[in-house]
Amino acid sequence: MTESYSLSELEAIIRRVTDSGGEFELYPKGTSMLPLILEGRDSVILSCLPDELTAGDVVLYRRDDGSYVLHRIIGCDGGTYTMCGDNQYNAEPGIRRDQMIAFASAFIINGKRIEADSPENLRYIKRRRSLKLRRMYLPVIHRLRSLVGRR
């Protein structure tokens, strides 16, 4: 039997596990991190936030409205970060470090563990990096998928 918990119920546990040097496996919901993370198939290994975060890193954070999000850092501006899902083209600026809960140190993709700093993942990041290109092609892809009934 599989049990499901809200992230608000798990936040303290995630922080305790990762802050003590452990890993927490999270099964994200939604489509914002496609094609990297497919809901129901893939998971994310969360670890303690590193001292320095850079563009390309994926983090779990809590918005000021209380919602939880797993997105990629696409920019840093002083003390805040700009975030965006891989399947999105609207950036979310102004995310503070104190909102961040954990760092995605690895991904379990189709049963295979891929470290965040692996060459395979770094190639993926390089391909997904351009927000300008995403703004051009993602609306077309989303529209085509809606026409054929796929997410």
Task: Give tens-digit pLDDT for 95-131.
Answer: 999 999 999 999 999 999 999 999 999 988 887 666 5
- Residue 131 covered by a domain: yes
CA nearest to 121, candidates 26, 42, 19 = 42
Per-residue pLDDT tens for 1-42?
677 888 999 999 999 999 999 999 999 999 999 889 999 999
Does 34 map to a domain?
yes
Q: Which of 53, 76, 56, 33 is nearest to 130 (CA)?
A: 56
**1 within a domain of the structure (yes/no):** no
Asked if residue 49 has pLDDT above 90, the reply is yes
What is the C-alpha separation between 35 and 14, in angstroms, rounded? 25
Assigned domain for 93 exists: yes
Q: Tokens at residue 117, please?
A: 């700093």
Q: How many domains does the chain divide into?
A: 1
Range of the domain at 15: 7-148
Q: Could you tell me the CATH number of the domain that includes residue 56?
A: 2.10.109.10
Question: Does the residue 123 lie in any domain?
Answer: yes
Cα–Cα–Cα angle for 16, 12, 103, rounded to 5 degrees: 65
Q: Assess if residue 66 is contained within a domain.
A: yes
Token pair 């993942």: residue: 121
